[in-house]
Structure 1
Amino acid sequence: MLAETFAVLAGHESSLFITSQDGLKLSESFSTLLHPGERSALISLASLASRYRDVRAFVRSPSHPQNEYICALASAIGTELKGYESLVIKTEESVLRKDDSLVGSGSFVPLSALLATFSLWEPPLAALSSLVAEIKAGPSDANARDWSAGRLIDLVHRRAMTGYSRVAEIFNRLLSALQRILLHYFNAYLLHGVALPPDSMPSCISSESKESIIYVGDAIATIQKEGWTKSLPRELLAEWTTGLNSASIFETQLFDKLVSDIRVGVSEWLWAHVLTKDDIVLAIDALADYFLLRNGEFAVAVIREIERLKADRLKSRNSIIRAQDLNHALLRASVGTSAETDPSLSKLSFTIPSGTTRPFLPHLTKSNTSMSRINALPDFSSFLLGTPTQLTYPLDFPLSLFLSPSALQTYARMHAYLASVRRAHILLLDLWSSLSLAQRKRRKWVRIGEGGAGVGEEQLRTRLLRRTWGTVREMVWFLEVLWGYIGGDVVDTCYRAFREQIGSPVGRIRTTSTSRSQAAGSPTVPSRPGTPAGATETAAVAGERQLDFTTLRQLHTAYLTNLTAASLMASGPLSTVVHEVLHTCERLGAQVARWGGDVLPDLLSAQMEGVGGMVERQQVVDEIYETFTENLRDFYSLLSTSPLVPTKNGDASTFLNASSVLNSTLSGMGGAGGAASMQARRQVEHLMLRLDFNMLLSDPVVETRGERAILAGLA
């Protein structure tokens, strides 16, 4: 029996022990010959041996042989099992030598003595057996198919947190084996750009260190991929390699300091050799000039060139418009502007998702936007060409270290939004010129009045012309107010604030493209009016000292968020109303163009058509005006949270105290109590004041539609 017991302890099967649903038990023929205490001791020894066999089976054949972390863990467990195996051999040797500590009177071996000898291994084997069973069962996360490095290290580390010192020591040695592989990957990823396996970050690593590891690794990987000729100094690589090889991810403070030092060193090297501050300032200026329309003369020229291109293709037999046609329009638009000598212009290009398109005439019908989708962001990319069009900027290395594809998409959406507002404004100004030219021509024949066969027809013509003039004037006024708010209060303010944050403020005078790099790298930069002496230099020095790529990306993300939120583009209801206003303005321009550039028919045509044609035109203009007025009131009501009831004497303070801005407009401005949020609130309040300068929009008195215009004396 004693030899059979040692064979079982060594991991062999035995017919003396039967495995059932209730656990291990002795065979009935053998159990009756033993004392109850002996039966209990044998079952305990057999249970210990059973756990050893399970763990040994895992060591010899891991559940995930392709997972090197599982293999490393199995190898480390096998090393720990050697202590148990040597104990079995040593104990059997002591029995054969009749050691007095085990053999009583030199003739018998108490099972209690064997149980006491192997009791030290009962907690470790129980813990190892439980660990093996959990590994075989797989991760508890339903989305995980395999044990990643992070999950496996978290599992072993969690089990190492025990009060039993022997179990804790064993599991700490297992953690060391796993950590060696992980640090090897960290070394290759951080210093050489080798891809890091997914989910390799255990929870014991702080979030700051995780972000730093990903930042440094991605930067080095990008440099390796682009074949950058320069590389990190060998002295730094050797120092960081030594530090990583001797580090411990469980010593949080020391590991965080090591990763932080590596990040600072890599950031300084990238900032000095790969992507310099001058490159970033040039890219920011180019994106602001051409996507945010800060270069106003070029933006207007591009819009006019695209309108001219559409008109030419409508008259030509070749009516197809391709992306290269739009790119040629960009070059033609730059002639005579400050963009003509800007090297950044060559990087801009238009893309048409459909490939090619034909010029479309503007729609003459009212927009059918569904009110159920008013919270969805409308698409402004179709206003320029009649089909979705996007302005693109190449994301080349090393600019890709700073910009992301999502950021460029945001810039493209901002360009479509701003260009649509600017285009509608330009079309209305052209419409105003067309109406003025037509009236001057008409004055050659009618001298006074608008002509007509009789008094009734003359009054009808006068009323139609005045209503059209009033509609165009109100539309131009609204778009000028809106563009002044977006272009001046939002874009320019956010741009200047962002330039100050990166330590390169701009003055009131715009620098040309040829002098930007010099201004960006100059130690003395112009300060904004009202800035205390020395404040600009302090901000610049602070930016130089503290700015790294991650901070720069965070500042740029906040910059884009502020732009989209404060410009009202990020608000579904507000941007939908703006979309409707632009569509209404385009309808009016298309109708007048259909009528030959004048709302009034010439006198000969009017005599042939009769009064019916005049009435039809009057109905069209009245419907457009009513739609615009309704959109304007919706826009104003969305800017405020509740109807504003002014006092009888029109006290402006009542308006200011009652006004508040939609929370969605300020969601990206840095919090309700922040300076950015307060600045945005003041800007929107100023917009509301400019819209409601005569208290008409906030007047609760319901008036007869059409009797009172927003701009007095136009109806």
Structure 2
Amino acid sequence: MLHEILLSLSGHPSPLLQNDHAGSTALSAPERNLLRSAGQLSEIHCNLISYTAQVSATHPSAICRAVSTAITSTHLAAFQRKILEVEDGILRKDAGLVGAYNIVPLTAVMGEFSGWTRTMQWLWDVVQFMLGQDSVSTRRGSELINKLRSEMQTGYADIEDASTSLVKVAETAWLKQVSAWILYGRIPNFGGDDFFIQRDKENEQGYKLEPALLPSFVSASTASSMLFIGTSLNRVRTRSVADPSIGTLAHLSSQLQELSSLKFPLNTAAFSRTIISIRMTLSRTILQKLLPLEKVIEMLHLLRDFLLLGRGEFAMALTQQADERIRGRWRRADNLAYEQRSGVGNVVVKEGEVTAVLARTFAALGSMQSQHAEEDEELELARDLLRLNLSKSKTATPKKPAAVVVQDMPTSIVTTPFRNLLFSVPVDMTIQIPSPLDLFLTTSDVQTYTMINSYLLSIRRAHLRLTDLWKVTSLRRHHPAPPRPPFNGTRGGRETTRTLRERWSARSAYMRSAWTTSSAGIFFLAETEAYLQVEVVGGLWGDFHSWLTGRSELSKQGSSSRPPTSANNRANNRAEQSDNDDYDVWPQNKDQASRPSTSSRIILPKSPHRDPQTLSTAHRAYLRVLIRRLLLTQASFTETLYNLLIHIDHLVAFIHRLHGIWTSMDLEMDEGVVDAFSNLDAEEADLKANIRHVEDKVKKGIEEVVGVLRSLSMDSAFMAEMEDEQGGAAGGEEMVVVDGGDEERYVPKRIGGVDRLLMKLDFGGWFDVGRAAEGCGDEF
């Protein structure tokens, strides 16, 4: 019987333990209970042998296979050794097992296996967890690691030891997969579907991160770093074929040593430090050649100058070219309207015309730059990379950014359609990200720049269109000359002079209200634009540029720097002049007044080393604060501002149309040129009524925008968010200092404030003054 029990416990089913002995009178109740316990242990052991073999052979997860094999080779083998030890003790007549008269008590035999009952049951639960309830492939390796790590917290020493041993096996298998990715940039051939990095053709990097496949001990920033490392290695392998100067993978021995020094179970902080150390080593050895800091700074200057309107002449030329294209379309439609009834359809802007507007804008900027001796390399780079396209009717799903685990952007940006104002149809100013700059910039970043560009450009455009009204001299100022001699002395000549002056006096009296409203709008737009461009965009850019080039560290050591004072001054938008020429990021040639070329203007002799992922993290923090400070997260402000800009467009269009009607009326009355197809008097009366109506809308729109700003300044939640944005600027991303502190978290400084803008708009009660001027008939 003892031989049968030991044989059954070793994995061979026995009828002795499987039969129900409840009705048997040959066995006592304690003996039946002992046999029942032995039968349960035997059944668990048989199931473990069968199902671990199944998992080891068929499970798609390499981690689950490794754990299943470890259960068989370690724990079940130890159980087999225990059975042999018990059998050996019986054969040797060990006093602990064999009593008097060579009697072997069943209680003593089963007592030797009492410590295995709980362990074997736990192992069977683990195997069942790996198999899942429905099929073999329902469980992932990350889920198993998380379960085993949680089981380590149990109060049973035997379960804790068993779970610890299996955790080591599971994490070792997982770390081997990670090593293949972070050392060679390769997804494991076997178990790739269970790996947290997956191929994705829709992603700009070609790979994406699956948070569901990540073990719980891996932080979000560490996962983002691993994704960046592997993606960079893939890029290096591709570029090294075309450019042997980049070199091959190096320092693998030191990186392997760092990985092998990790202790199991893996610690979150230690693992994070190791990954960041490998990332820094990669950036110092390979990525420094693939993506030097000078290229990053060059691209950021391009984004600042063109998409954030650092170059004021670009916004001006683009607005002028767009308005000229729209006017040309309307003129052609008017000429064809009498012959083709579909002439209105010719006003619709086409894709080729939008692209041509951008080309003519660069041509205009090139003609401005031709007077300088040196070629503007940044302008040529912008000509190659910038694109102006019509937005699709159905917005395509944007590509996912590289770091999908980390909070990518701040709160959602408002959907106010500022992009509709330039051409009266949706257009987007975008930029192509050349390789390898896509390691630093993501499609999400470019989309954010596009939204900011539409927002700032619409304000600049409205400001320019209002100020252009003052260029229409015949509408703003007119001094009718008397007829030429000898008619000036005649009665008819004097009557003509009087008629002209009376006509102009009536028109001037009518236009006073329009000029008052336009002046008020110009003041509002000028102050708002100055706040957004100079204080917010310029201030944040200066702070980010200082951190990027290490100027913040230099300033701590006593170097002096000046913040940019004008958004339209390109020299101030770049690196500030320092008292020490060694720290000059863009040294100016003292013999030449022109700006330096791109190849010689970026010198970073003492800037700290910052790898591309650190730069990308800081750049996202910069964009996050920039969006908030530009109030692009406040729909109440953007909606009222958008309505005001539309009313300003209507006012400018009506005034230009009224000027054209007055010119036609002057030709009809003075020269006898009659247009038989128009009723100028009726059109004039209709336009005057429309202008008065739009004037009221503009005034109310300004008041509404100022009211929204005042409400925001008193909104405790909004102000708390603005005050706390520095603490959460990095979006909770983890920045671990390695190698003596080469990395430093970028914390944007406090810039601007709604109260500062309100002080400017409320200074002197300018709007009340405008109303008083309108009431007394004085020109504002």
Shorter-normalised TM-score: what interval? 0.7 to 0.9
- Which segment drifts farther, 399-408 or 312-321? 312-321
2:167 pairs with 1:171: no
Show the counterpart of 1:221. 234
Q: How does 1:341-352 map to 2 (within 5 A)?
A: 341=377, 342-345=379-382, 346-352=384-390
Show the counterpart of 1:490. 536
Structure 2 residue corresponding to 1:265, chosen from 263, 270, 281:
281
Displacement after TM superposition at 1:411 (Å): 0.8
Show the counterpart of 2:13. 13
Higher relative contact order (CA 8 A, sep 6+): 2
Q: 8 Å contact 1:351–1:389 — kept in the other structure? A: yes
Structure 2 unaligned runs (5+)?
189-194, 197-211, 337-345, 370-374, 394-412, 484-493, 552-560, 588-602, 671-677, 729-746
Amino acid at match of 2:640: V
2:299 pairs with 1:283: yes
Displacement after TM superposition at 1:299 (Å): 2.1
Q: 8 Å contact 1:378–1:572 — kept in the other structure? A: yes
| Aligned CA distance change for structure 1 residues 170 and 609 (closer, same or farther; 3 Å) | closer
Amino acid at match of 2:6: F
Once the two structures are superposed, what CA deviation does each residue of 1:9-47 show, in whole Å capped at 9, x if it has no partner? Answer: 2333344456xxxxxx83344x32111221121112112
Q: 8 Å contact 1:569–1:575 — kept in the other structure? A: yes
Give the secondary structure class of the aligned counterpart of 1:544.
coil
Displacement after TM superposition at 1:710 (Å): 11
Displacement after TM superposition at 1:631 (Å): 0.8
Q: How does 1:228-627 map to 2 (within 5 A)?
A: 229=244, 236-250=251-265, 252=267, 254-270=270-286, 272-316=288-332, 321-323=350-352, 324-338=355-369, 341=377, 342-345=379-382, 346-354=384-392, 376-434=414-472, 436-438=473-475, 443-444=480-481, 461-503=507-549, 523-525=582-584, 544-545=607-608, 547-597=610-660, 602=665, 615-627=685-697
2: distance between equivalents of 1:242 and 1:568? 49
TM-score (norm 2): 0.73
Amino acid at match of 2:171: Q
Displacement after TM superposition at 1:543 (Å): 8.1
| Aligned CA distance change for structure 1 residues 313 and 224 (closer, same or farther; 3 Å) | farther
2:104 pairs with 1:34: no
How many residues align structurally? 648
Once the two structures are superposed, what CA deviation does each residue of 1:167-225 show, in whole Å capped at 9, x if it has no partner? Answer: 43333332222222112112111111123712554233456644443443333234335
Amino acid at match of 2:380: P
Structure 1 residue corresponding to 2:55, chosen from 52, 62, 67:
62
Once the two structures are superposed, what CA deviation does each residue of 1:538-568 show, in whole Å capped at 9, x if it has no partner? Answer: xx99983363333322321222223222223
Show the counterpart of 1:43. 36
| Aligned CA distance change for structure 1 residues 673 and 183 (closer, same or farther; 3 Å) | closer
Q: 8 Å contact 1:449–1:458 — kept in the other structure? A: no
Displacement after TM superposition at 1:465 (Å): 1.8
| Aligned CA distance change for structure 1 residues 712 and 693 (closer, same or farther; 3 Å) | farther
Show the counterpart of 1:72. 66
1: distance between equivalents of 2:238 and 2:570? 35
1: distance between equivalents of 2:142 and 2:94? 48
Show the counterpart of 1:135. 130
| Aligned CA distance change for structure 1 residues 41 and 710 (closer, same or farther; 3 Å) | farther
Displacement after TM superposition at 1:266 (Å): 1.8
Give the secondary structure class of the aligned counterpart of 1:392.
strand
Structure 1 residue corresponding to 2:752, chosen from 669, 680, 685:
680
1: distance between equivalents of 2:440 and 2:276? 19
1: distance between equivalents of 2:532 and 2:775? 21
| Aligned CA distance change for structure 1 residues 439 and 180 (closer, same or farther; 3 Å) | closer
2: distance between equivalents of 1:8 and 1:134? 25
Amino acid at match of 1:135: M
Give the secondary structure class of the aligned counterpart of 1:351.
strand
Identity of aligned residues (%): 21
Show the counterpart of 2:699. 629
Show the counterpart of 1:150. 142
Once the two structures are superposed, what CA deviation does each residue of 1:460-512 show, in whole Å capped at 9, x if it has no partner? Answer: 64442222222222222222222222222222222211111112668669677
Displacement after TM superposition at 1:3 (Å): 4.4
| Aligned CA distance change for structure 1 residues 476 and 511 (closer, same or farther; 3 Å) | closer
Q: 8 Å contact 2:531–2:752 — kept in the other structure? A: no
* Root mean square deviation of aligned Cα: 4.3
1: distance between equivalents of 2:259 and 2:748? 42
Amino acid at match of 2:652: G
1: distance between equivalents of 2:779 and 2:247? 70
Give the secondary structure class of the aligned counterpart of 2:114.
helix
Amino acid at match of 2:526: E
Structure 1 unaligned runs (5+)?
19-24, 356-374, 529-539, 643-658
Q: 8 Å contact 2:21–2:32 — kept in the other structure? A: no
Show the counterpart of 2:487. none
Give the secondary structure class of the aligned counterpart of 1:13.
coil
2:134 pairs with 1:119: no
Show the counterpart of 1:372. none
Q: 8 Å contact 1:451–1:603 — kept in the other structure? A: no
Once the two structures are superposed, what CA deviation does each residue of 1:602-644 show, in whole Å capped at 9, x if it has no partner? Answer: 35769996976554333212211111111111111111138xx
Once the two structures are superposed, what CA deviation does each residue of 1:258-281 show, in whole Å capped at 9, x if it has no partner? Answer: 333222212323553222221111
Q: 8 Å contact 2:575–2:585 — kept in the other structure? A: no
Show the counterpart of 1:531. none
Structure 2 residue corresponding to 1:185, chosen from 177, 180, 185:
177
TM-score (norm 1): 0.79
Displacement after TM superposition at 1:353 (Å): 2.8
Displacement after TM superposition at 1:5 (Å): 2.5
